[in-house]
């Protein structure tokens, strides 16, 4: 490989490495919309959980902005959203992009 080709190759690789995380991350604004429609009724606007849900689930319902949830990786949060036992009906109505977007929104709830 010529030196010039090699340089171009390195440049492209660097640009790709910079773009990938940006492409993978969801759209927090779209996520906020979805959250208001499908999550707020249980988790509350700020993620703390509605009083009724807090009463019903107690410590099992963790505040979405709290350390325990925020410490999770995006992929694990996505699994929590799709696989949660209280999310069965909900999960059927979510597309993969919806999940990425709503995870991005959950990041904005960080305290």
In this structure, the chain runs to a length of: 111
**Contact between 77 and 106 (Cβ < 8 Å):** yes
CB of 21 to ligand HEC, least distance (A): 20
Calpha distance 54→66 (Å, rounded): 14
Cβ-based nearer residue to ligand HEC, 15 or 108: 108
Among 32, 39, 48, 109, binds ligand HEC (CB under 6 A): 39
CB of 108 to ligand HEC, least distance (A): 12
Among 11, 84, 97, 111, binds ligand HEC (CB under 6 A): 84
In 3D space, the residue among 44, 18, 24 whose CA is nearest the CA of residue 99 turns out to be 24
């Amino acid at each position: 490989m010529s030196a010039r080709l090699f340089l171009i190759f390195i440049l492209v690789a660097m640009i790709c490495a910079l773009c990938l995380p940006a492409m993978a991350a969801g759209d927090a604004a779209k996520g906020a919309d979805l959250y208001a429609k499908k999550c707020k009724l249980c988790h509350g606007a700020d993620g703390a959980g509605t009083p009724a849900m807090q009463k019903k689930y107690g410590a099992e319902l963790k505040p979405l902005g709290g350390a325990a949830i925020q410490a999770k990786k995006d992929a694990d949060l996505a699994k929590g959203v799709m696989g949660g036992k209280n999310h069965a009906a909900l999960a059927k109505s979510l597309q993969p992009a919806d999940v990425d977007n709503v995870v991005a929104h959950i990041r904005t709830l960080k305290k």
